[in-house]
């Protein structure tokens, strides 16, 4: 089930915690994390979902798993280097990780 976004929503008045969940790999569904992302946003987080291009075959699907850290790093660099977004992010509250790690360990990777 898709979660609708709000076009041209007003920016937050204060910096928000940034949460960057990454794709799960192994051909996970494009919107498989929408329910979780929506709940995190409703709780007050700025959620930026990272999805990889769809793999064409099983070997690409397996290789996709190892791309998560690079995808997250690029996303963080882009957001924190952006004049539009950097001031809306609380630099002391940034979490990122793959759903697989969070499900196994029950903890996200806290970056700041």
For residue 83, the model assigns a pLDDT of 93
For residue 89, the model assigns a pLDDT of 95
For residue 104, the model assigns a pLDDT of 47
| pLDDT, mean of residues 28-44 | 77
For residue 68, the model assigns a pLDDT of 76
User: Where does residue 106 rank: exposed (0-12), middle (13-18), buried (19+ CB within 10 A)?
Assistant: exposed
Smallest Cα–Cα separation from 48: which of 29, 28, 71? 71
Smallest Cα–Cα separation from 68: which of 99, 111, 104, 89? 99
Most confident region among 16-20, 30-34, 51-55 by mean pLDDT: 16-20
For residue 109, the model assigns a pLDDT of 52
Q: What is the pLDDT confidence band of residue 30, given thresholds at 50, 70 and 90?
A: low
Q: What is the mean pLDDT of the chain?
A: 77
The model's pLDDT over 67-103, given as tens digits with 9 standing for 90+, comes to 778 888 899 999 999 998 999 999 999 988 776 555 4
pLDDT exceeds 60 at position 105: no
């Amino acid at each position: 089930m898709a979660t609708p976004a709000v076009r041209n929503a007003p920016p937050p008045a204060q910096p928000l915690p940034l949460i960057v969940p990454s794709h799960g790999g192994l051909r996970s569904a494009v919107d498989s994390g929408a329910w979780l992302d929506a709940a995190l946003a409703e709780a007050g987080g700025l959620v930026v979902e990272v999805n990889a291009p769809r793999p064409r075959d099983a070997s690409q699907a397996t290789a996709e798993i190892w791309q998560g850290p690079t995808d997250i790093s690029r996303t963080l660099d882009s957001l924190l280097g952006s004049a539009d977004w950097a001031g809306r992010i609380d630099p002391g509250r940034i979490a990122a990780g793959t759903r697989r790690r969070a499900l196994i360990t029950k903890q996200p990777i806290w970056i700041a």
